[in-house]
Amino acid sequence: MQFLQKMRGKGQAPPRVSVAEVCWSWIGSFIGIAAVALLHYKVVDQNALVLLIGSFGASAVLIYGAIRSPLAQPRNLLGGHILSACIGVTAFQWLGVYPWLAAAVAVSTSIALMHLTRTLHPPGGATALIAVIGGESVHRLGYLYVVMPAALGACVMLIIALLINNIPKNRRYPEFWF
């Protein structure tokens, strides 16, 4: 009975943020994703490489939209993407013949590793998953996937976050570095 009782949830949702906060979230994420996407389409893609992956959309929510969150700090952003990329590539290379298994192992192991290293960053789970389900263009990168797109893309997004999030006087990023 208590098991079902717990599913009801009795807490309250946090309040809505101010309009200024919405605007700065929009500006930051627009510029952040624009920077990565421009580099991807104008430079990297023409060399048959990848810089823009889906998990950066999720990172943008955190590092431009919830900048106080521990999940959005540089340690988590960089650590989460890099470690998860390693796990994802390894999972595909070892277990790629069973895609369902490789996908599950990649995501679950990267969450465990992010917890253990205090680098929990939700988009890291997507980075690990994309290493498995990203298709031929991702698979042929091998461990380069860790450096680019994962590390490099996260760095570009981080630079934009540092520049944009510190413009308004009552916004501050990061809370901590490592």
Partner 1 sequence: MNPTGSDSCTPIDISEQDVLEAMKKIQGYIDISPGDFKEVFTIAYNHAMQRIKDSLTAQDIMTRPVHCVGLGMDLVQTALFLAENKLSGAPVVDADGSIAGVISEKDFLAKMGLGASTSFMQIIAHCLTNKGCMAMALRNHPVQKIMTAPALTAGPEMTIGAISTLFVDRQINRLPIVDTEGRPVGIVTRTNLVQSYCVIR
Give contact residues for partner 1 (rule: CB under 8 A).
10-15, 17-18, 20-21, 65-72, 168, 170-171
Q: Which is nearer to partner 1, 47 or 170 (CB)?
A: 170
Cβ-proximal residues to 167 (8 Å cutoff; 6+ apart), any chain: 24
Half-sphere exposure of 66 (CA within 13 A, CB side): 13
Contact 64, 164 (CB under 8 A): yes
Q: Which is nearer to partner 1, 57 or 70 (CB)?
A: 70
- Coil, helix or strand at residue 82: helix
Q: Which is nearer to partner 1, 90 or 165 (CB)?
A: 165
The CB-of-102 to partner 1 minimum distance in angstroms stands at 31
The CB-of-169 to partner 1 minimum distance in angstroms stands at 10
The CB-of-33 to partner 1 minimum distance in angstroms stands at 18
Distance CA 66, CA 14 (A): 12
